[in-house]
Amino acid sequence: MKVVITGIGLMTAFGKGADCFVKNIIDQKDGITTIERFNAEKYRGNQAGQVPLSPGQAWDMADLLEAAIKEALTDAELSIENDATAPSWIVGTSYGYLIDRERVNRAILGRDPAHGAHINGQIISMACVSSTHAIGLAKYYIESRKADCVIVGGVEILREVIHAGFHAVRALSPDKCCPFDKNRKGLVLGEGAGVLVIESQQRANQRKAKIYAEIAGFGSASDAFHLTAAIPNGKGLEVAILKALTQAQLDSKDLGYINAHGAGTIQGDRVESIVFQRIFGGTKNPIPVSSIKAAIGHTIGAGGVIDVALSGLCLTKNFLPATLNFKEPEKEFSLDYVTATREKKVDTVLSVNFAFGGNNAAVVLKKVRP
């Protein structure tokens, strides 16, 4: 059974909506601004990708998630007639106990659930791979007929405790974030929400829904190495990618584009390049690689869904996004780092994420032809 994405909703540093997101990504803009929500001057970095606010407005996680859910449901033209046909939901975020389950139910139904109604929802908290794992679970739910349709979300909000935490572990960049550049100094945080509507291709065709992409493969593995650092040989990430490629029945040489985690950290980006070179290197036509973290910041638990949404949009709108602020790679890597937006048709995309605690996850998307 093919599992497909039929709806996308995004709230990012560029503002509300997937259209606004894509336009800014293609135009190579960034949404990184000076932090005003708390005093960040005392930290190594004082900038972040913040969702724009109107004067007097304040976002919380549920607001961001709700806005993205509504956009995704509208985009998928999904009408939920009664509570019994409500889709399941899986939300990934770094601190799951902060999610208001009732608000998620309300956002999906557009009203309060009927008394005694049960909507199947769960929260995954696995740091930066939280929502990537949610996608893998949703794929399984559809394939196993555990659900007809799953709303998969990722959400994160910029809070001082997280910013200070990344400062404490020396991961913040004092300057602009420049993933994969040889002079990179660290990451810039971001906030936002991403939501995908996931269902079987058969169901999508029956209701004549547009299809962004097939979720063809998912893989995950653990490093068993360190709480905050990736294993230097990248073995866990490599295993996760190979599992996703195998499940997608895709040969590494046939991959079209890699949407990298590329947070801009010195060690993380290096590990990622090592793994990409080991799996995809040595070919006549290197596979293009890029990361959007310099444009919207590292959105932690929301990053997986936002990255996969971007990957689906790349397949339908025929472009590859640039890694902003990238100037020069490290000498030993001969990867095709995308430095300016490319107009290019690709049929397959690999999206990868890895996280504190040694969690790695990868998703393979394939273009679906009408």
Partner 1 sequence: MSKKFLSGNLAGKALNNENKLILIATYRAFIHSKMDIKHMDQAKISIVIHTSFGGLESVEQFSSGIKKNSLKPNSFACSSPSVPASIISMCWGIRGPSLTVVSPRFSEEAVLESASDLAGIDTPEWVICGYCHFSTLSSVESQNQMQSQLPDFAKIWITKWKI
Q: Which residues are catalytic?
A: 128, 261, 298
Count of residues interacting with partner 1 (CB under 8 A): 48
What is the phi/psi pair of residue 264, to 5°? 100, 5
Closest CB 245 distance from partner 1, rounded Å: 14
- 3-state DSSP helix/strand/coil % of the chain, to nearest 5: 35, 25, 40
Q: Is 225 a residue that touches partner 1 (CB under 8 A)?
A: yes
Q: Which is nearer to partner 1, 23 or 146 (CB)?
A: 146
Q: Is 359 a residue that touches partner 1 (CB under 8 A)?
A: yes
Distance CA 143, CA 260 (A): 26
Stretch that binds partner 1, among 5-13, 79-87, 118-126, 251-259 (CB under 8 A): 118-126
Interface with partner 1 (CB under 8 A), residue from 161, 284, 332, 369:
161
Q: Which is nearer to partner 1, 168 or 340 (CB)?
A: 168
Q: Which is nearer to partner 1, 248 or 324 (CB)?
A: 248
End-to-end CA distance of the chain: 16
Q: Which of residues 6-65 bind partner 1 (CB under 8 A)?
A: 42
Per-residue tokens: 270: 């290096």
Closest CB 224 distance from partner 1, rounded Å: 5
CB atoms within 10 A of CB 27: 9
> Could you tell me which of 238, 187, 9 has the C-alpha nearest to residue 108?
9
Q: Is 100 a residue that touches partner 1 (CB under 8 A)?
A: no
For the beta sheet containing 47-49, the strands, ordered from the edge strand earlier in sequence to the opposite edge, are 32-34, 47-49, 189-190
Interface with partner 1 (CB under 8 A), residue from 14, 21, 95, 326:
95
Closest CB 52 distance from partner 1, rounded Å: 26
Q: Which is nearer to partner 1, 39 or 283 (CB)?
A: 39
Per-residue tokens: 196: 């995908």
Q: Which is nearer to partner 1, 231 or 322 (CB)?
A: 231
Tell me which DSSP letter residue 51 carries. P
* Burial per residue of 43-62, b for 16 or more beta-carbon CB atoms within 10 angstroms, e otherwise: bbbbbbbbbeeeeeeebebb
Stretch that binds partner 1, among 103-111, 123-131, 202-210, 281-289 (CB under 8 A): 123-131
Q: Which is nearer to partner 1, 222 or 316 (CB)?
A: 222
Query: What is the SS3 assignment for 4?
Result: strand
Q: Is 122 a residue that touches partner 1 (CB under 8 A)?
A: yes
Q: Is 148 a residue that touches partner 1 (CB under 8 A)?
A: no
Distance CA 358, CA 90 (A): 22
Dihedral, CA of residue 205, residue 211, residue 214 and residue 218, to nearest 10:
-120
Q: Which spans of this chain sit near partner 1 (rule: CB under 8 A)? A: 42, 94-97, 99, 122-127, 133, 136-137, 139-141, 143-144, 160-161, 164-169, 218-228, 235-236, 239, 243, 355-359
